[in-house]
Amino acid sequence: MTVSKSFQRFMFLESCASETHEIHWPILNTKKIRGHLNPAGLGNAREFSEGSLGQTSVAFDTIEDYEHADATGTGYEGSAEYAIVRTPEAAQVTKKFAELHGGKGAVILPSGLSAISTVFETFLKGSKPTILIPDNRYFPAERALKHLNGINPHLGVYRYTPRASADEILKMVATISSDGRKVDMIYLEAPGSQTFEIPDLKRIIEFAKSRKILTVMDNTWASHVRFKPLAAGIDVVVEATTKYPGGYADTPSGIIVSASEENHRKISYTARVNGNGAVSPQTCNRLFNRVASTEERLNKHFASAQRAMTWFQAQPFTQDILCPANPRSPDNARFHTYFHKGNGLFTVRFKEAVTKQAVHDFVGRLNLFRVAESWGSHVSLVLPAHASRALETSPQPGERLRFSMGLENGDDLERDYSSASLALGY
């Protein structure tokens, strides 16, 4: 008799701790909840659903007030002339993030990707706009650049290696300059997607400043808790705030924070005219009220990740643990220089003898880890890590799984991946 996945989870949960129960009882049947991992409103979601509720019109007392708002994009109490673009809730949450990052202003958008694409659209203009991006970039960011390239075929996109030094960047800029181009932007993502390498941030930032090249950093991995890019000299920071600041998979949003008022005005204008500045008041409220607990939640994610990495490292089927917090990682020294503590993410690289089917069977036996993209929420996730690296000449062998540790009880999580590992044949 075939046991359904829901019943398998039910039996496993019978012996789990209360904190694990709270997370997983409402989501036993993945199909019934349509794959959405927070249908019960965990994280006090319903407390934060009051507010302007996305009303489409903003009224003014005089035509002069309206004309001022229409010209500046800012109305009464920081709202806009057209509430879809910027609600009072958006004004409050952006003010909070600007303060957290020490920036001159912030803009909220519907996703991390929309934050990234808005930055690209704002600054990659002119006859030959040019950007340097890391080879371990978030793939949709490159897809956004390809879209821009379709609009402006003269856009130049150049990749640098995941652990790039300032000397590598200097040589790239010199080569590009010899071709008659000026580098407009150095885009940083650290640690990078899926494999989590870290470039020489300090010296790259210093070099960029010396050449007056705009620096933009995707700081989603660290959030404002682990690293403050603006304080380190970065010009613009982007974050997918649906990850750790939102924490419960129900705050789809992204933030852009600028070190200068000029860049903030440029980004705000782009978000206004392309419509990307429309984020629901409920999302803004949830984010505003949860951001204070980011560090507390992040520490729990990290504790579970440390425990899991220690367990996986000791297993005979594990080849490597890809995570800068791993003491064996070549990125560990830079990790301690910039971030000090980690989050809930790591990637396991299995030994070459472990087949793809065995890895799939292992995942199929997991009860608390859901197969899903994204990360940083209350539910633990797992996903194949298919890192595409254009500059990698000799890809390392072995199947890879990226884990995102949630807020479940640590004993329950270990019992889950430990029992599932029998499928790996060791």
Give me the DSSP letters along 6-57. Answer: HHHHHHHHTTS-HHHHHHHGGGS-TTTTTT-S-TT-TTTGGGG--S-TT-S-
Q: Span 199-227, mean pLDDT?
A: 97
Question: What mean pLDDT, rounded, does the chain reach?
Answer: 91
Query: In terms of Cα–Cα distance, which of 355, 320, 346 is closest to 426?
Result: 355
Q: How far is CA 345 from CA 120, 349, 354, 402, 416, in A?
A: 27, 13, 22, 7, 17
Residues 7 and 52: their CA atoms lie apart, in Å, by: 42
Q: Span 66-75, mean pLDDT?
A: 76
Q: Which residues contact 155 (CB under 8 A, 6 or more apart)?
A: 124, 128, 129, 130, 131, 145, 148, 149
Which residue type sits at 54? G
* CB of 354 closer than 8 Å to CB of 399: yes
Residues 242 and 252: their CA atoms lie apart, in Å, by: 5
Residues 318 and 199: their CA atoms lie apart, in Å, by: 26
Question: Class for domain 48-61+77-291, per CATH?
Answer: alpha beta
pLDDT at 248: 94
Q: Which residues contact 203 (CB under 8 A, 6 or more apart)?
A: 165, 166
pLDDT band at 69 (very low <50, low <70, confident <90, very high): confident
Strand order in the sheet with 214-218: 105-109, 254-258, 236-240, 214-218, 185-189, 130-134, 156-160
pLDDT at 84: 61
Q: Span 375-394, mean pLDDT?
A: 84
Q: Which residues contact 170 (CB under 8 A, 6 or more apart)?
A: 207
Every domain range in the chain assigned CATH 3.90.1150.10: 5-42+293-424
Domain 5-42+293-424 in CATH 3.90.1150.10: yes
Work out the percent of the chain whose per-residue pLDDT is above 90.
71
The more confident residue out of 374 and 83 is: 374
Q: Cα 285 vs. chain centroid, distance in angstroms?
A: 20
The answer, yes or no, to whether residue 55 has pLDDT greater than 70, is no
pLDDT at 3: 67
The answer, yes or no, to whether residue 111 has pLDDT greater than 60, is yes
pLDDT at 376: 94
pLDDT at 56: 65
* CB of 219 closer than 8 Å to CB of 115: no
